[in-house]
Amino acid sequence: MPVVTLPDGSQRRFDHPVTVDEVAAAIGPGLRKAALAGRVNGKLVDTSHVIADDAAFAVVTDRDPEGLDIIRHSTAHLLAQAVKELFPDAQVTIGPVIEDGFYYDFAYQRPFTPEDLAAIEAKMAELARADQKVTRRVMARDEAVKYFKGLGEFYKAEIIAAIPGKEEISLYGQGNWVDLCRGPHVPSTGKLKAFKLTKVAGAYWRGDSRNQMLQRIYGTAWPDKQQLEEHLKRLEEAEKRDHRRIGKDLDLFHLQEEAPGAVFWHPRGWTVFQSLIGYMRERQAAAGYEEVSAPELMDAELWRQSGHMEKFGENMYLTKTPDERLYAIKPMNCPGHVQIFKHGLRSYRELPVRFAEFGKVHRYEPSGALHGLMRVRAFTQDDGHVFVTEDQITSESVAITRLILDIYRDFGFEDVRIKYADRPPKRVGNDAIWDRAEAALKAASSAAGIEYTLNKGEGAFYGPKLEFVLRDAIGRDWQCGTLQVDLNMPERLGAYYIDEHSAKRTPVMLHRAMFGSLERFLAILLEHHAGKLPAWLSPVQAVVIGITERQDEYVLRVTETLKNQGLRVESDLRNEKVGFKIREHTLRRVPYLLVAGDKEVAANLLSVRTRSGKDLGTTSPETFAQGLRVELNSRGRKVWEG
């Protein structure tokens, strides 16, 4: 007879097999009501699950992460049930839990409309109110296939057919609707109290663009209404951080129809962009890089040799000149850098050779992929290529890794994860070369003392890579930096150096980027800071504001003085009230507002206010400049506090 051991170590003895529900009831009526599922010997099960033998036991409620997942999963089922009631011809496919919610894919003869969505959501609420019991039963595989085929659910039948033979096939029913599912599920639909359908979209069956397009409905679900509201609020806040919105508000850049996926940088945006470049120049020079610049346009033949034409030809811009020569606009900088390396004889004594370029590349991205500055067709990489001997891979990789991580700290990104991506299915070079490259990159990673997760099959076509992923202020991950070990490209493009025995040797090429795309990195910064860029990146670092025209001369003089010290300062002499000017510059996220009235002019002072509304008191222009300079020099690590 079963003895169940609770998480606190206490035990309950039963004289007959019991269900999870019964055990929960034995512990307390409140817990029984809150029970969504059980955990028996580590395995999640329904509340109807029968425990016959001794077991470790826990009740799963909506306070457990697993409980939340179960709510979401069951809400996906509720969605499918509602769709089947309203659109009996629709076929169900899969409905997994995703971050903050769930989706369900349906095959239907027409796309669902926003009006359908409202109707479906209403039907879901109705079904939840009915508090239908959710029941589980097991069916033999062949029988299950037959069962779903009989229902006209051919996608389900296909899914079952693909389930490994030894796995149990379980069906879940609620009301008159049955779905194949691994479970577990909530005991009854009444447990689903707070959900909302968010969007409809097309999605390919089995994620393959050669397959039929299904209708995907997304939704979110939470334990209670309040948490749902909070989630919707968070989405709203994230929307306010949208770099496209901020870019417009702050007059940084725009995009227009004639140049899809290409950025028109306005003076303020370009100032930020140039600040990024200036910073990186400094860091790279200190790290032993030499800046180069390779042509934007090179003969297509070169791109054939590199392998780009074969793999990415469809995404390259080509142009035929009047002399009938075919040129490609560079989608990457590496072949150009190899040409510079190749020019002249290189000795092993010169290695490592470190080239860096703020190279503007063009890639014809699929139209549906474009997204503000995040995904564009013309962008600038802080691209570097280091030519090394095989012996130098480790030390050089360690140096690159350290540099990347240190640079991220200057931008206030402390939380950085690293992924290791190995050989992709479509690649150049033989397996022996890949074995060496992968081993070298792994060795370098452990020498650098970094931990990584595996990103299987996601390496570049010419070599494995480390991907540096940073986490922003609202918890989103962005892959930016990359380090790739390439034993293929130098050989394909005929690069070599002379070793200590006067023999020709092919160098190894390390590809690396810190920002990745400057356009995208800038977008990430805008969203991370919600537009409040640190002063060293702000297009305007301070505005000097006069209260009446009596201060005009002083305001101009102070502005001039600060500008002469290399600070980005403007004056605002407009015929407006101070409150109005403060409001405008605050909305433009200017870090410091320097107000001068008669009192300040008389004492040669400025009244300093930050964009977050903090009053830093009065100070002389000299002291302010000094403090700001300290802040600028410490990058994102420190701010001036008056």
Partner RNA sequence: GCCGGCUUAGCUCAGUGGUAGAGCAGCGGUUUUGUAAACCGUUGGUCGGGAGUUCAAAUCUCUCAGCCGGCACCA
Q: Which of 49, 77, 363, 427 binds RNA (CB under 7 A)?
A: 363
What x-and-dash track marks residues 472-511 binding RNA by CB under 7 A? ----------x-----------------------------
Q: Which of 84, 308, 346, 529 binds RNA (CB under 7 A)?
A: 308
Q: Is 480 a catalytic residue?
A: no
Q: Does 370 bind RNA (CB under 7 A)?
A: yes
Q: Which is nearer to RNA, 194 or 596 (CB)?
A: 596
Q: Which of 63, 288, 580, 638 binds RNA (CB under 7 A)?
A: 580
**Which of these segments, 140-148, 284-292, 449-457, 603-611, binds RNA (CB under 7 A)?**
603-611
* Residues 19/135, Cβ–Cβ less than 8 Å: no
Contacts 24+ apart (CB under 8 A), 112-118: 112/200, 112/215, 112/217, 113/200, 114/200, 116/86, 116/87, 116/200, 117/197, 117/200, 117/217
Please, where are the H alpha helices in 36-100? 65-86
Report the C-alpha gap between 277 and 284 in whole angstroms.
10
HSE-CB of 93 using CA atoms within 13 angstroms? 18
Number of residues this chain uses to bind RNA (CB under 7 A) = 68
Q: Is 585 a catalytic residue?
A: no
Q: Is 363 a catalytic residue?
A: yes
Instruction: Tell me the closest approach of the beta carbon of residue 118 to RNA, in angstroms.
Output: 13
Q: Which of the following is catalytic: 511, 529, 589, 609?
A: 511
- The single-letter DSSP state of residue 188 is B
Nearest CA-CA partner of 244 in 522, 477, 481: 522
Nearest CA-CA partner of 375 in 365, 383, 385: 365
Q: Is 541 a catalytic residue?
A: no
Report the C-alpha gap between 118 and 128 in whole angstroms.
15
HSE-CB of 195 using CA atoms within 13 angstroms? 38
Report the C-alpha gap between 350 and 498 in whole angstroms.
10
Q: Does 115 bind RNA (CB under 7 A)?
A: no
Q: Is 231 a catalytic residue?
A: no
Percentage helix, strand, coil for the chain under 3-state DSSP, each rounded to 5: 40, 30, 35
Q: Which is nearer to RNA, 14 or 205 (CB)?
A: 205
**Which of these segments, 16-24, 33-41, 362-370, 559-567, binds RNA (CB under 7 A)?**
362-370
Q: Which is nearer to RNA, 202 or 278 (CB)?
A: 202
**The two three-digit tokens of residue 474, written as one number:** 């609202």
Q: Does 621 bind RNA (CB under 7 A)?
A: no
Instruction: Tell me which amino acid residue 538 is.
Output: S
Instruction: Tell me the closest approach of the beta carbon of residue 541 to RNA, in angstroms.
Output: 16
Q: Which of 548, 564, 604, 633 binds RNA (CB under 7 A)?
A: 548
**The two three-digit tokens of residue 304, written as one number:** 């054939």
Q: Which is nearer to RNA, 208 or 431 (CB)?
A: 208
Q: Which of 578, 626, 629, 635 binds RNA (CB under 7 A)?
A: 578
* Residues 215/104, Cβ–Cβ less than 8 Å: no
Q: Which is nearer to RNA, 372 or 534 (CB)?
A: 372
Instruction: Tell me the closest approach of the beta carbon of residue 579 to RNA, in angstroms.
Output: 4
Q: Does 83 bind RNA (CB under 7 A)?
A: no
Q: Which of the following is catalytic: 156, 377, 427, 465?
A: 465
Beta strands across the sheet bearing 592-596: 569-572, 542-546, 592-596, 606-610, 615-619
Q: Which of the following is catalytic: 385, 492, 520, 528?
A: 385
Instruction: Tell me which amino acid residue 625 is.
Output: A
Residues that bind RNA in the complex, under the rule CB under 7 A: 111, 113-114, 199-204, 207-209, 213, 215-216, 218, 244, 248, 255, 257, 260-261, 308, 312, 315-316, 331-332, 363-372, 375, 460-461, 482, 547-550, 575-580, 582-583, 586-587, 593, 595, 597-600, 607, 609, 611-613, 615
What are the residue numbers of the active site?
A: 334, 363, 381, 383, 385, 465, 511
